[in-house]
Amino acid sequence: MKIPKKYKDKIKNKIKAKRKKKRELSEAEHREVKQPSPAKKLKNFAVSAIKHAVNGMPTCTQEEIDERLAVCQGCKWFRGRKCYKCGCACNNNKKFLNKLAWADQECPVGKWGKIEKDETD
């Protein structure tokens, strides 16, 4: 059975409209993600650093850091090398200022949690 041209055009237009709407929603979601203010970032870092110091400053292995980073890279809040939810640096360096390297920290949106370290580690 052959479909008349006017119906084909209607179907194509509906498909185009759905794709356009989906694209607009995706772009709107992308615009919603904003960095926290410098004051909020400072507060978040200070609270995390104090908790980290109180817990004995446990660190992660490079493999654990890489696993956490892979999860972050798939998140809508991750931009460049930062988490736009909390404002923390997220990279694969095993440095003090990298939240991913702190075993006692967890993702602000719950994508990864604390890593329990034994006393013998």
Q: Are residues 42 and 85 in the same domain?
A: yes
How far is Cα 97 from Cα 40, in angstroms, rounded to an integer? 16
Q: Are residues 72 and 55 in the same domain?
A: yes
Strands of the chain (E only): list them: 78-79, 82-83
Q: Are residues 61 and 14 in the same domain?
A: no
Whether residue 121 is contained in a domain is answered as no
Range(s) of the domain holding residue 97: 35-115
pTM: 0.67
Q: Are residues 67 and 88 in the same domain?
A: yes
- Output the tens digit of pLDDT for each of the chain's 121 residues: 677 777 778 787 888 887 777 666 555 555 667 888 999 989 988 999 999 999 999 999 999 999 999 999 999 888 888 888 888 888 888 777 788 899 999 999 999 999 887 655 4
Length of the chain in terms of residues written:
121
Q: Are residues 48 and 76 in the same domain?
A: yes
Q: Are residues 108 and 62 in the same domain?
A: yes
Whether residue 1 is contained in a domain is answered as yes
